[in-house]
Amino acid sequence: MGKLDGKVAVITGGGSGIGRGVARLFAGEGAAVGIFDLDAANAKAVADEIAAEGGKAAIAIGDVSKEADVEAGLKSLVSALGSDVDIMVNNAGMDTTHELDGMPTDMWDRMLNVHLRGTFLFTRAVLPGMKKKKWGRVINLSSQLAHKGAPTMTHYVAAKAGIMGFTRALAYEVARDGITVNCVNPGPINTPLLNSLPQDWLNRKKNELPIGRFGEVDEVAPVFLLLASDEGSYFIGASLNVNGGDYMI
């Protein structure tokens, strides 16, 4: 018996990094997993990994910031997996660095659209099904930088802080419908996204960490499982900080 037997989970950005780790862990615990990603090859590779291990997975390709992509993707995943979504993991993200002085407007807009608009669009779309079931889990990916801030990342920090505020406000709205809404605030985790940042940024960040190293996906994914399972039923509007001591709260 898995902790997520009979549940349908959708994970945005599930084709790599933290999303891939969460998708595989959820499938191993019995969930049917929908992977929504921009990269078709990555999404298919994760779905194939899950199938090879005896799990059930489906993929949909699109941009989390585009309403039509979200609606079409969710419709496809629900049809393939056979049920409305029980667990929504808003994980899709991006990362760039730039001082605010001179930051292009489209860089700012893209960051907020992927992180904050994408979280809004997917969450809004799955809530009716969760309310019908009187059970649901919404897990949003924020960041320790939403607490701490970081130079050259005003756009990223603003988006992640917005997700944290969104999480808390929505938690009030839906808790009595049997739906929990929480976020995970990882520190720097060894993923393709992190490693796309400039090397001097990475070196400086590693030196700031009390633990002296970046985290691994396998150290973060179990937090998502806790929040997704019945064991996480008393977490409401929480921000769980898995960050190697980068921000202690």
Domain boundaries, the chain: 8-242
Torsion of CA 42, 9, 166, 181, to 10 degrees: -150
Query: Could you say which residues of the chain have pLDDT below 70?
Result: none
Tell me what pLDDT residue 28 has: 98
Q: Which of 156, 172, 234, 247 is catalytic?
A: 156
Reply yes or no on whether 156 is catalytic. Answer: yes
Q: What pLDDT, in 10s, does the model give residues 118-136? A: 999 999 999 999 999 999 9
**Which burial class, exposed, middle or buried, applies to 66 when counting CB atoms under 10 A from its CB (0-12, 13-18, 19+)?**
middle
Q: What pLDDT, in 10s, does the model give residues 158-171? A: 999 999 999 999 99
Tell me what pLDDT residue 202 has: 85
CATH 3.90.1150.10 given to domain 8-242 = no
